[in-house]
Structure formats: C-alpha cells, structure tokens
Amino acid sequence: MHTPHVRSSRRTLLALIGASLVAGPAVAAAGPANAAATGLDDPAKKEIAMKLVSSAENSSLDWKAQYGYIEDIRDGRGYTAGIIGFCSGTGDMLDLVELYTRRRPGNALAGYLPALRRVDGTDSHEGLDPGYPDAWRRAARDNAFEQAQNDERDRVYFDPAVRRGKADGLGTLGQFAYYDAVVMHGDGGDRTSFGSIRGLALDRARPPAQGGDEVTYLHAFLDARVWAMKQEAAHEDTTRVDTAQRVFLRNRNLNLDPPLDWQVYGDSYHIG
C-alpha cells in the first residue's frame, strides 16, 4: 500500500508564510564534520536512496516495481503515481506525460493531456476517469515511460536536492535528507516546503559550508522536517525521519554506508 504523502506545488506561491520551529531537545556538540567520500549521485548510493524512499512511499524496497503504481490517496493532489509519486494536481505528472508524449507520440496517456492540464492545481479527476489508471498501467510496460519517470525524478527532485546538499557542504546522508524532504514537500514557497524547512534549520545551526558541524546541522534540519510533517494530518507519523534518517545520523553514518537497518511505519528494512 502506498503511504500517503503530500507534496507542495512546484509553482512558487506569492508569499512566504512565517513560521517558527518549536525547539526540540538540545543536540549534543558533535565532532568535526565528516565529508562524504561519495555523493548521493554515486550510482550505488543513488540505488540506496531509491530504496529508502520506496520503503516510506510504497512499503517496499523494490522501487522499480512502482512505475505502474497509481491511486488517489485523498491528500488533495488528485492521482499519485509512479516511482516518485507524481501528482495530477501539482504539475509534475503533467510535465512527465508531456515529456513521454514528445518521446513516444500516440502513447496510452497522450489523449489525457488536455484533461491533465485542466485538473492541474486541483484534486479533480474530471476527464481522467474511468480510463486513466488503466492507461497509466499500460504505459508503465513501455521502457520509454520508465525512462521518462527516471528523467523527471532526476530533473525535478534528485539533482536539485543533491546540488543544494553539496553546496551546503553535506555528505551523502545530508544530501539524502534534502532529497527525501523535496520528494514529500516540494520546493515551492509555502511554509512547509523544502526551502522553508532548510530556512528553519539555518536559524538554529550552520551547515558545513558556513563553518558549522554537519551532525549538529542535520539534527536541526530533521527537527525542522518533523515540524513541517506535523503540520498536515497525512504526515503525523514521522517514522521516515525518527526511525530511519535519525538512526543513521545518530550512528554518524554520514556516508550512508551499508549495512543499513531502519524502520518506517513499524516495518523493518535492511540493506546489506
């Protein structure tokens, strides 16, 4: 079962809503920042990232089995589908289908483009039901659609998160923390977007690029992430942070080196 998540629209809102973070437990002073030997864009690390996200989004480490996934999880974003949870209401699903259609004209989803443009920004299924889910699953049998999903995931979510993490001087774990936050919250202008979460963290700690300690900064970022998740009912369970990312951080595994053991929503996972 796909775990509910809500992602903010990628279209920037006109105003940023002010927010303040309720301070959590004091973070013990950590040692010098440990620069990662590789970044999250290293192929082996990227594979780990995909599995970590899939454990939270799909309750499975088999992220490649999710290309054909589609359902409305009743989060106000319309249909959620594919390997990263593209949404009919947030624009990224429309961008994906447009890319796929440029590469494969006449595909099973091409006829739904007018409807996708109409429902963008809403939770409506108008013009999509009843055939759209079956068309999505048919398209998912096409290697060109799988590649389009991979490319849009990287363009919109993975690559920007990794670039921002590297610019902040973060290692592989920190880059993953950024990526997972962008996947769930988007990078729009609202108070629970990635940019706002990062801003709250910067109010409390400096990242390594600014001379700060990496562990201390990442604790502040995860504190801000938990705060943002709790602003929406669909995110009240914060185990993808508490019993996953925070576990790696407490173990000072800043490179995300296997073996990795974590839990999400009570389920246990292992990467050897």
Q: Give mean pLDDT in consecutive 10-residue pieces for the chain, a chain of 272 residues.
A: 39 30 34 53 97 95 98 92 95 97 98 98 97 98 98 97 97 98 90 96 98 98 97 86 98 98 97 97
| Helix, strand, coil fractions of the chain, as percent rounded to 5 | 50, 5, 45
- Report the pLDDT value the prediction gives residue 114, as an integer from 0 to 100: 98
Look-up of token digits 């999509």: 128
Q: Which CATH superfamily is domain 43-271 in?
A: Chitosanase, subunit A, domain 1 (1.20.141.10)
Burial per residue of 58-79, b for 16 or more beta-carbon CB atoms within 10 angstroms, e otherwise: bebbebeebbbbbebbebebbb
- Report the pLDDT value the prediction gives residue 233, as an integer from 0 to 100: 77
Beta bridge partners of 261: 270
- Report the pLDDT value the prediction gives residue 188, as an integer from 0 to 100: 82
Residue 264 phi/psi, 5-degree rounding, is: -140, 125
- Report the pLDDT value the prediction gives residue 36, as an integer from 0 to 100: 40
- Report the pLDDT value the prediction gives residue 177, as an integer from 0 to 100: 98
CA atoms within 13 A on the CB side of 160: 16
- Report the pLDDT value the prediction gives residue 19, as an integer from 0 to 100: 33
E-only strand ranges, the chain: 70-72, 79-81, 86-87, 260-264, 267-271
Residue type, 169: G
- Report the pLDDT value the prediction gives residue 189, as an integer from 0 to 100: 82
Look-up of token digits 């576990």: 247
- Report the pLDDT value the prediction gives residue 99, as an integer from 0 to 100: 98
Angle at 176 between CA 211 and CA 158, to 5 degrees: 110
- Report the pLDDT value the prediction gives residue 38, as an integer from 0 to 100: 64
Look-up of token digits 């919250």: 185
- Report the pLDDT value the prediction gives residue 8, as an integer from 0 to 100: 40
CB atoms within 10 A of CB 176: 26
What is the three-class DSSP state of 269?
A: strand
Active-site positions read 57, 75
Beta bridge partners of 70: 81
- Tell me the whole-structure pTM to 2 decimals: 0.85
Residue ranges covered by each domain of the chain: 43-271
